[in-house]
Amino acid sequence: MDSRTKGKTVMEVGGDGVAVITLINPPVNSLSFDVLYNLKSNYEEALSRNDVKAIVITGAKGKFSGGFDISGFGEIQKGTRKEPKVGYISIDIITDLLEAARKPSVAAIDGLALGGGLELSMACHARISTPGAQLGLPELQLGVIPGFGGTQRLPRLVGLTKALEMILTSKPVRAEEGHSLGLIDAVVPSAELLTTARRWALDIVERRKPWISSLLKTDKLPPLGEAREILKFARGQTRKQAPNMKHPLMCLDALEMGIVSGPRAGLEKEAEVGSQVISLDTTKGLIHVFFSQRGTAKVPGVTDGGLVPRKIKKVAIIGGGLMGSGIATALILSNYPVILKEVNEKFLEAGIGRVKANLQSRVRKGSMSKEKFEKTMSLLKGSLDYESFRDVDMVIEAVIENISLKQQIFADLEKYCPQHCILASNTSTIDLNKIGERTKSQDRIVGAHFFSPAHVMPLLEIVRTNHTSAQVIVDLLDVGKKIKKTPVVVGNCTGFAVNRMFFPYTQAAMFLVERGADPYLIDMAISKFGMPMGPFRLCDLVGFGVAIATATQFIENFPERTYKSMIIPLMQEDKRAGEATRKGFYLYDDKRKAKPDPELKKYIEKARSISGGNVDPKLVKLSEKEIIEMTFFPVVNEACRVFAEGIAVKAADLDIAAIMGMGFPPYRGGIMFWADSMGSKYIYSRLDEWSKTYGDFFKPCAFLAERASKGAPLSAPVEQARSRL
Ligand SMILES: CCCCCCCCCCC[C@H](O)CC(=O)SCCNC(=O)CCNC(=O)[C@H](O)C(C)(C)COP(=O)(O)OP(=O)(O)OC[C@H]1O[C@@H](n2cnc3c(N)ncnc32)[C@H](O)[C@@H]1OP(=O)(O)O
């Protein structure tokens, strides 16, 4: 393979007259332009050769194809690659050359056929798959649309409703379900895949099996009136669920065109829309997220040194509260035997009960069988002492945020755990060096910061001190992957990456309401921006106890940029502490539905009189855009500090941390990506202006000032950061 080319196809013609074309582009045989153009040449050759009767397309090394090469979109966005003629691949190659060929083709699918991979297979005249193969059109998740005919062929193979479900949710189906849906013609063991596909192709030639062009099928399509109703409903749902994104609706336009005006018109619409979506900002953001998410496990100086993760056979967790039980759940769900330690029988029982409840909720929802529940629970053992810690490979401490308690625990762990055992803390704010102060095991102390609920939330902040060994990081990255978390490796500091970025977000919101802004309008503007909820609703959900404890850490560590609002402490005094007490910034009914509380004004006014601030007429009438900027630019400012200090090694890691830890909308690409879309100069100028009017909370940091002075992107690598990694 030429070093500049990306992937290829190879064709072998057998004595039976079947040409087998193999897609080769590791690791997932993505369809790069090189692969697609090679496929075209192979096809033309196969069609012109007299010794070829039929064609089989397959993928190398147990994977059919993970779809179009996603980096190709980036090349087109950046202008480093010229766009092919609209419809060239989907119409000229896949439809007119492949599907309309006078020789039949069969797709032999092993492992996965996603996106363009599935679309290519749907243009074949039959599809044979191995058991369990994943089949799906996940394009919308990337901000693009199925662009190789998927919007036309999938509804014709599986029906409109199922096709809409698969396309709109981006969720794949397994081969077995694909078979029952009519997407797959036969499911056979891996060893029989190619022979079956070859035979099937010859059977089509001999007319023993039907020669089906998916595009021409109509039997699964509903009558036009019904189809229009289904599409209308889908549009309504899409507008509700993805109000800030255009591409799902554009995808529906292509689907509708095919149903109303026929598949050729549908293909043309798909090609036109497919080309337009590539330049949407939301698409750029989502593609950035795809690669950034995979990049978080690549840590310079750690994962590039050839270290192999050690096998973690048993894990112990200290503390069976909300966090400890969530972490235990995540681990046993991935088959790790777990010991849960508590201080007394009552707490232990409660901790085990929480794990049980977490799993039972899966059984209730039908995503876990009773047998699997029993088997998973059997991996959990309770303990009241450290005796059973003698053969554990990793301990995760998850007790309350109390430094001396944690110090004592780590000193005990050093006595009872084996020498190689990883000693992790789930602290969300406390300096790990302090936690390990009473031990000589600094090299194996690490932060494993999960987010609540730990068995659901996808992020794992792995916190490394100056002493933590690279091996320990590699081990924890491996555990993170096995328990299906996205890890972000960060340096040690108060709040690490996520909580440090979170802090100014809620602080800015408190500042704005004290100066006269309406908290409910702020929450609304922020939800419209794409956050799962606004800062006030979030404080209610987290509870004021946690909010105050976290704020205290920040006030102590970053006093110069803390806005000290008394709103939350005043409400706490009155025993309104958030959703758990049914009263916080909102009032909550029996069904936990939130409604605004007119009494809130009283607390805001009292807090305002304590802080000595005045209502600012400008802030009373903020536009939605101004609300977003005044709450998120301080977050960008803090992210810049985190990046400049080397707490995060890549800006993209902060993007993922913000998306998965704060709920920042993925289609905005993450906090730094979003900031760069506005430019460092603009953000600096806004913060600078506010800091002159409203004080140091808004003061732009030196890093931001420097980048703005050069007009440089905030995400450009930090050259001489004082790296903590
Ligand atoms: C005229 C207008 C212009 C026209 C342009 C041309 C037309 C374009 C039309 C496109 C039509 C098509 O409909 C669009 C697509 O097909 S988009 C792609 C759809 N596919 C996907 O979304 C699948 C994405 N991948 C995954 O979900 C997973 O990677 C996986 C395949 C399930 C494998 O998962 P796992 O085993 O966990 O491995 P990783 O996720 O870690 O991935 C391993 C590495 O592979 C890279 N990867 C994966 N998929 C792709 C891909 N499609 N393209 C490029 N690279 C891919 C991934 O980044 C990892 O790389 P590293 O190891 O380097 O990190």
CATH number at residue 607: 1.10.1040.50
According to DSSP, the residues that pair with 648 across neighbouring strands are 490
CB distance 147 to ligand 1 below 6 Å: yes
Q: Is residue 294 in some structural domain?
A: no
Q: Which atom of ligand 1 is nearest to the CA of 294?
A: 64
Confidence at 549, pLDDT banded by 50, 70, 90: confident
CB distance 648 to ligand 1 below 6 Å: no
Question: Token digits for 499?
Answer: 């909580």
Secondary structure class of 7 (helix, strand, coil): coil
CA angle 241, 242, 244 (to 5 degrees): 145
Confidence at 2, pLDDT banded by 50, 70, 90: low
User: Whose structure tokens read 């920042």?
Assistant: 664
Q: Which of 460, 491, 522 is the last residue of a domain?
A: 491
Substitution site in 6, 28, 174, 270 for ligand 1 pocket (most atoms within 8 Å of beta carbon):
28
φ/ψ of residue 293, rounded to 5:
-65, -40
Domain containing 86 equals 8-284
Residues 255, 389 within the same domain: no
Q: Which of 491, 506, 524 is the last residue of a domain?
A: 491
Q: Which of 451, 468, 491 is the last residue of a domain?
A: 491
For residues 574-590, b (16+ Cβ closer than 10 Å) or e, as one string?
A: eebbbbebbbbbbbbee
CB distance 708 to ligand 1 below 6 Å: no
Q: How far lies 40's CA from each of 129, 269, 706, in Å?
A: 23, 23, 50
Picking from 252, 217, 260, the residue whose alpha carbon sits closest to that of residue 231 is: 252
Q: How far is the CA of 69 from the centre of ligand 1 (A)?
A: 6
CB distance 76 to ligand 1 below 6 Å: yes
CB distance 136 to ligand 1 below 6 Å: no
CB distance 275 to ligand 1 below 6 Å: yes
Do the beta carbons of residue 417 and residue 389 sit within 8 Å? yes
- The pLDDT tens digits of the residues spanning 386-442 come to 999 999 999 999 999 889 999 999 999 999 999 999 999 999 888 899 999 999 999
Residues 222, 268 within the same domain: yes
User: Whose structure tokens read 């993760």?
Assistant: 309
Residue 721 has pLDDT above 80, yes or no: no
Q: Residue 722: what pLDDT?
A: 45
Q: Which of 114-128, 198-212, 541-555, 608-622 has the lowest mean pLDDT?
A: 541-555
| H runs (alpha helix) in 135-222 | 150-158, 160-169, 175-181, 193-205
Confidence at 723, pLDDT banded by 50, 70, 90: very low
Q: What average pLDDT does this structure show over 490-499?
A: 92
| Cα–Cα distance measured from residue 487 to residue 657, given in angstroms and rounded to the nearest whole number | 9
The residue ranking higher by pLDDT, 613 or 608, is: 608
Q: Is residue 725 in some structural domain?
A: no
Is there a catalytic annotation at residue 119?
A: yes
Total domains, the chain: 3
Residues 482, 533 within the same domain: no
Q: How far is the CA of 66 from the centre of ligand 1 (A)?
A: 5
Describe the strand order of the beta sheet including 18-24 as a list of residue ranges: 8-13, 18-24, 54-59, 105-109, 126-129, 186-187
Residue of 119, 268, 514, 629 with catalytic role: 119
Residues 409, 482 within the same domain: yes
| Cα–Cα distance measured from residue 535 to residue 635, given in angstroms and rounded to the nearest whole number | 13
Q: Is residue 300 in some structural domain?
A: no
CB distance 567 to ligand 1 below 6 Å: no
Picking from 368, 296, 355, the residue whose alpha carbon sits closest to that of residue 329 is: 355
Q: Which atom of ligand 1 is nearest to the CA of 87?
A: 1
Residues 328, 280 within the same domain: no
For residue 197, the domain's CATH number is: 3.90.226.10
Q: Is residue 308 in some structural domain?
A: no
Residues 611, 471 within the same domain: no
Residues 671, 552 within the same domain: yes
For residue 450, the surrounding DSSP H or E stretch is strand 445-450
Residues 270, 398 within the same domain: no
Q: How far is the CA of 29 from the centre of ligand 1 (A)?
A: 9
Q: Is residue 293 in some structural domain?
A: no
Residues 550, 566 within the same domain: yes
What is the residue with the minimal CA distance to atom 35 of ligand 1? Answer: 28
Q: How far is the CA of 390 from the centre of ligand 1 (A)?
A: 43
Residue 544 has pLDDT above 50, yes or no: yes
CB distance 142 to ligand 1 below 6 Å: yes
Residue 647 has pLDDT above 80, yes or no: yes
Residues 558, 602 within the same domain: yes
Picking from 152, 149, 117, 151, the residue whose alpha carbon sits closest to that of residue 134 is: 117
| Cα–Cα distance measured from residue 429 to residue 550, given in angstroms and rounded to the nearest whole number | 7
CB distance 114 to ligand 1 below 6 Å: yes
Is there a catalytic annotation at residue 139?
A: yes
Query: Average pLDDT, whole number, for the chain?
Result: 95
The HSE-up count of residue 588 (CA atoms within 13 Å, CB side) is 16
- Predicted TM-score (pTM) of the model is 0.94
Is the four-CA dihedral 433, 435, 438, 440 of positive or negative sign? Answer: negative
Q: Please enumerate in sequence order all residues whose Cβ is within 8 A of that of 431, keeping only pairs 6 or more positions apart, or say none.
A: 492, 493, 494
Substitution site in 70, 89, 139, 299 for ligand 1 pocket (most atoms within 8 Å of beta carbon):
70
| Cα–Cα distance measured from residue 543 to residue 234, given in angstroms and rounded to the nearest whole number | 37
| Cα–Cα distance measured from residue 28 to residue 118, given in angstroms and rounded to the nearest whole number | 13
Describe the strand order of the beta sheet including 173-174 as a list of residue ranges: 112-114, 134-136, 173-174
For residue 408, the domain's CATH number is: 3.40.50.720
Q: Is residue 717 in some structural domain?
A: no
- The pLDDT tens digits of the residues spanning 222-244 come to 999 999 999 999 999 999 999 99
Q: How far is the CA of 135 from the centre of ligand 1 (A)?
A: 13
Burial of 216 per CB tally in 10 Å (0-12, 13-18, 19+)? exposed
Residues 357, 262 within the same domain: no
What is the residue with the minimal CA distance to atom 59 of ligand 1? Answer: 294
Q: What average pLDDT does this structure show over 347-359?
A: 97
Q: Is residue 716 in some structural domain?
A: no
Residue 603 has pLDDT above 90, yes or no: yes
Q: Is residue 611 in some structural domain?
A: yes
Residues 107, 131 within the same domain: yes
